[in-house]
């Protein structure tokens, strides 16, 4: 599965639809990418990523660790973010994409610092997910409240 998704995400665009496992890995990879946007992959961010994946998909600690490890490798190898957001956008209804943006904000805010690179990256990702600025701001506010 991982190799096939890696080929689809790093190679030429494919007309083959992504499955649920692909969208899980795409979200996990996007969470890792936003955590690394400030060049500091903090333990607090990893903990939030693990919590998001466990809550969203009902995964065990071992399953979360495996998914995150795959995402960390894929994040380093994938050339762009568009393919991840497209996979999520295709698989997740708009209302639920707001919760994806909220999860991304939770990762950004996990280490207690908001970096300009993280802000810019999140603005781009929200746009690519089709989430407007207003809804992204509400998602950020919700994430800040905990």
The domain limits of the chain are 18-145
Predicted pLDDT of residue 123: 93
What CA–CA distance (Å, rounded) separates 107 from 78? 20
Two structure tokens written together for 109? 């805010």
What CA–CA distance (Å, rounded) separates 64 from 49? 9
**Whether the predicted pLDDT of 122 surpasses 60:** yes
Domain 18-145 part of CATH 1.10.40.30: no
**Whether the predicted pLDDT of 66 surpasses 70:** yes
What CA–CA distance (Å, rounded) separates 128 from 121? 10
What CA–CA distance (Å, rounded) separates 121 from 104? 10
Identify the residue whose tokens are 């500091």.
40
What CA–CA distance (Å, rounded) separates 66 from 60? 10
CB 64 within 8 A of CB 50: yes
Predicted pLDDT of residue 53: 97
What value does the mean pLDDT take over residues 23-38?
94
Predicted pLDDT of residue 7: 56
Q: What is the chain's mean pLDDT, rounded?
A: 88
pLDDT confidence band for 113 (50 / 70 / 90): confident
Identify the residue whose tokens are 């950020």.
140
Predicted pLDDT of residue 19: 58
42: number of Cβ within 10 Å: 16
What value does the mean pLDDT take over residues 80-105?
92
pLDDT confidence band for 5 (50 / 70 / 90): low
Identify the residue whose tokens are 């096939």.
4
Two structure tokens written together for 20? 């649920």
The candidate with the shortest Cα–Cα distance to 125, out of 51, 47, 36, 58, is 36
């Amino acid at each position: 599965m991982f190799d096939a998704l890696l080929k689809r995400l790093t190679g030429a665009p494919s007309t083959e639809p992504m499955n649920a496992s692909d969208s899980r890995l795409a979200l996990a990879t996007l969470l890792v990418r936003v955590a690394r946007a400030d060049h500091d992959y903090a333990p607090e961010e990893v903990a939030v990523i693990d919590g998001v994946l466990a809550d969203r998909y009902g995964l065990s600690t071992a399953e979360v660790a495996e998914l995150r490890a795959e995402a960390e490798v894929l994040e380093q190898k994938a050339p762009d973010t568009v393919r991840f957001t497209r996979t999520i956008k295709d698989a997740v209804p708009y209302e639920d994409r707001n919760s994806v943006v909220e999860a991304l904000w939770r990762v950004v805010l996990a280490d207690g610092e908001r970096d300009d690179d993280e802000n810019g990256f999140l603005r781009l990702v929200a746009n690519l997910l089709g989430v407007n600025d207003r809804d992204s701001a509400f998602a950020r506010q919700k994430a800040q409240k905990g």
